[in-house]
Chains A and B, each alone.
Chain A
Amino acid sequence: MHQFSQLISDLSHSTKTNEKLELLSRYFSTADERDKAWMLALFSGRRPKRAVNSAQLRRWCQEAAGLPEWLFNECYHTVGDLAETIALLLPPPERGEAPRPLHYWIESLMLLEKAPEAEKQAFIRNAWEQLQPGERFVFNKLITGGFRIGVSQGAMVNAIAKAYGMEGAVVSHMISGNWDPQQTTLPQLLHNHHNNPDDSRPYPFFLAHALDGGPATLGEPAEWQAEWKWDGIRGQLIRRNGQVFLWSRGEELITDKFPEIAGLLDYLPDGTVIDGEILAWDEVLARPLPFQNLQTRIGRKNLTKKQLQESPVVLLAYDLMEWNGQDIRLLPLRDRRLQLEALADSVNQPALKISPLITYTDWDELATIRAQSRDNNSEGLMLKNAGSTYQVGRRRGDWWKWKVDPFTVDAVMVYAQKGHGRRSNLYTDYTFAVRNGDQLVPFAKAYSGLTDVEIGQVDAWVKKHAVEKFGPVRTVKPELVFEIAFEGIAASNRHKSGIALRFPRIHRWRHDKPVSEINTLDDLKQLLEQQS
């Protein structure tokens, strides 16, 4: 555990990508073999199920530290991270027992899952007593998850590639999909692919960068293929050896949530992998339903008939990555596209559609078409070089997203709350209101969009102008006006304002605008009407 906890500490202090890469690859070269696989599992979203919940952790820590609940909560709101709060509050450790490796702690925690509460408590309290402060933090994180140390999947892949002398793309492929760190070591995972192919293994997604300043610099329009940029869930559909798997971009297996798509099993040939967007679809208008429909399908374990009827989903296919069991990602896009079209024709099922290509002759015409994106419930356009290969991760050059400008409204800040992670102990999470007659109606929360300097200024202002305190929330004088940008608007009966926004964020601080000139609830309602 010491080596792992040292790694976490070094990573969180390191501000340079190269240093992080060096630290990670050193870990992959020197750590305990069983720890390496767990380390990779933890940082690629394969953390085992929680054996202990956070309410239990809080309670046991309060007992161990002899603190009242309210004081624990004050500390938590200041630190902004439960695992760290607990590590800081526990009394000093009692040394004695021999240090144990990472995999011991993880596997012991897994065994606790079904244990009675008293046994869980005894284990956790004992662990806290023998671990050093830095290790306690890491131990708590094993339970609560989310290390927030700024290591991307890409950095992890590069570090493994460096430590094992392999190509990044190969590593990326090898470590994706379903595998169990208890059953496999990292070298086995990396090398035994051909003997033991995993049918469910997805390819890494190719992601686009935003196109700033328009397509004029891209060259010949004829070399580029344009599609709508759909606002659903990016997915990868795999059929191999008589089985079907649907993966989300977060490498989560979501086959069961979308039975319509899973049903394509009977129609797709073996050795097929399709990249596409999962969307709730309106067959009559031949366009996606609003995102809220898709949302009713996410996070539900059991789907009702009503949900299936009201929000049927389809896979709108973008690309074909594997065909007849062959990885075809290195073929040019135009060839993959032809193959994909032929496939969709032969499958001929409503759950598999192709993301249509937009025909245009020059960039000006395309710009005009882009302006109509919202009529299609799309966020703008995708531009892909027709000769491009299917690459790994977010790359510049061949694929671009060209989104439409967001909606904006001017609103006033009414509540502020402290943030988490590197924003801990700073008021960074704000609630905004619009006017309705002489009332202010809160309608959106936003966490991002300000620079660090601006956050510092707003934080200082909140500390001076807090009017009331409700737990961690401060009511502030309604004085600061911000322009709020968002991607979509929908009616909602769960919100007091009657509306829900999609992706609200702070566009800029309107120092120039008085509160008397902010937008009204009627403005938002009008926008809502135009959209539906």
Chain B
Amino acid sequence: MQPVLTFTETGIYCPAGGFYIDPWKPADRAVITHAHADHARIGSRHYLCTKDSVPLLQLRLGKDISVQGTGWGETVKIGGAEVSFHPAGHMIGSAQVKVTVGGQTWVASGDYKTENDGISGAFEPVRCHTFITESTFGLPIYRWRPQTAIFGDIEAWMRENEASGKQSILVAYSLGKAQRLLYNLAHTGKRFFVHGAIYNAHQVLLSAGWPLPPVELITPETPKSDLKGQLIIAPPSAADSAWMKRFSPYSLGVCSGWMQVRGNARRMNADAGFAISDHADWTGLLQSIRATHAEKVFVTHGFSSTLARYLEENNIPAEAVRTAFGGEEETTETTV
């Protein structure tokens, strides 16, 4: 029996349906889990994704792409395969892709997190024969605190900065993390000033009807007095740049799962590191994998060989696979 999905040079391929999931080279048909750059790449002839992902794909890949959106859990027939999308909880529109061929079900997780952040959808475990999981934070040192506790820390940090006359700047990936922060900090009543990269994504999401608080684009004309006591959100690329220097004195808070380890926070010159991630932690990975009841697990990007070995030792047949979502022990700090 032919496997439902295979790992090829171009990406994860479904022979029965003739499509790729998150291909890293141009393909005829691309099924996309979510709109981050390492999963949704330019150049394919036709894209299929969730309805919520469509405007984000158009933002990232261009208005003129050929893209079809589908509803959550809705089954789409592609050749001999049945395809459906299920919430992955990673960012707005993010999905796991379920593919069934001849009674065999495989699920490709894309990126996922198990805690419901309020805006990215609630992760839904999907029963399957074979599960393809990410492993960005596949080590037991990565165990997240609940986001309510972390947002409590962030708010305390903002109050402290205000008291000592410092500008609060949070660093967060522009698509995903930034919206999670805005949604969960909306109740503070602060004005949110954002970098251009975040502003563009925000406009697209607002017009798609997402319940996000208003933001203000920072321009060279934005008076410094307007920012006082308010919050600035900027992408990682802006950390310690000339763009940021003009807000001095400021306190830089980096929001990323990598902040779990002190050395990373020090390396980024962060004044505060908040270990808040849009990926599942160790506990979340293990729980999700068990919940699928999969007979076989393929472990992709992250600590793939470590997680695979641990699963094997715990009687879950597993194998590490190399993908272009990241080499072994990928530590890309862009989408975390």
Binding site for B on A (CB under 8 A): 12-15, 65, 67-68, 70-71, 74-75, 78-81, 84-85, 88-89, 420-426, 452, 459, 463-464, 466
Q: Does B213 contact A (CB under 8 A)?
A: no
Q: Does B220 contact A (CB under 8 A)?
A: no
Q: Report the minimal beta-carbon distance from A477 to chain B, rounded to whole angstroms.
A: 14
Binding site for A on B (CB under 8 A): 139-141, 143, 258, 260-267, 269-273, 303, 306, 309-310, 313, 327-331
- The answer to whether B263 and A75 touch across the interface, beta carbons within 8 angstroms, is no
- The answer to whether B269 and A15 touch across the interface, beta carbons within 8 angstroms, is yes
User: How far apart sit A425 and B136, CA to CA, in the bound complex (Å)?
Assistant: 13
- The answer to whether A68 and B141 touch across the interface, beta carbons within 8 angstroms, is no
- The answer to whether B263 and A13 touch across the interface, beta carbons within 8 angstroms, is no
Known A75-B141, A78-B139, A464-B327: A423·B267 in contact at CB below 8 Å = yes
- The answer to whether A89 and B140 touch across the interface, beta carbons within 8 angstroms, is yes
Which B residues touch A89, using CB under 8 A? 140-141
Q: List 19 A-B contacts (CB under 8 A).
A: A13-B270, A13-B271, A65-B140, A70-B309, A71-B306, A71-B310, A75-B140, A78-B141, A79-B141, A79-B263, A88-B260, A88-B261, A89-B140, A423-B263, A425-B258, A425-B261, A463-B327, A463-B328, A464-B327
Which B residues touch A423, using CB under 8 A? 263, 267
User: How far apart sit A422 and B261, CA to CA, in the bound complex (Å)?
Assistant: 9
Main secondary structure of the interface of A (DSSP, over half): helix
**A65 (CB) vs chain B CBs: closest residue:** B140
User: How far apart sit A452 and B269, CA to CA, in the bound complex (Å)?
Assistant: 12
Which B residues touch A84, using CB under 8 A? 261-262
Pick from A65, A421, A459: contact of B263, CB under 8 Å: A421
Closest 4 A-B residue pairs measured CB to CB?
A424-B263, A88-B141, A422-B266, A463-B327
Interface centre among A74, A85, A466 (most CB of B within 10 A): A74
Q: Report the minimal beta-carbon distance from B281 to chain A, rounded to whole angstroms.
A: 11
User: How far apart sit A85 and B270, CA to CA, in the bound complex (Å)?
Assistant: 20
Which A residues touch B271, using CB under 8 A? 13-15
Given A67-B140, A88-B140, A89-B141, 13 extra CB contacts under 8 A: A12-B262, A68-B313, A75-B139, A78-B141, A78-B329, A80-B261, A89-B140, A422-B266, A423-B267, A424-B261, A424-B262, A425-B261, A463-B329
Which A residues touch B272, using CB under 8 A? 13
Q: Report the minimal beta-carbon distance from B304 to chain A, rounded to whole angstroms.
A: 12
User: How far apart sit A67 and B266, CA to CA, in the bound complex (Å)?
Assistant: 28
- The answer to whether B263 and A74 touch across the interface, beta carbons within 8 angstroms, is no
**B331 (CB) vs chain A CBs: closest residue:** A425
Which A residues touch B313, using CB under 8 A? 68
User: How far apart sit A89 and B260, CA to CA, in the bound complex (Å)?
Assistant: 12
Pick from B263, B265, B270, B310: contact of A80, CB under 8 Å: B263
Q: Report the minimal beta-carbon distance from B140 to chain A, rounded to whole angstroms.
A: 6
Q: Report the minimal beta-carbon distance from A64 to chain B, rounded to whole angstroms.
A: 12
**B268 (CB) vs chain A CBs: closest residue:** A422
User: How far apart sit A75 and B270, CA to CA, in the bound complex (Å)?
Assistant: 23
Which A residues touch B262, using CB under 8 A? 12, 81, 84, 424
Q: Report the minimal beta-carbon distance from A523 to chain B, rounded to whole angstroms.
A: 35
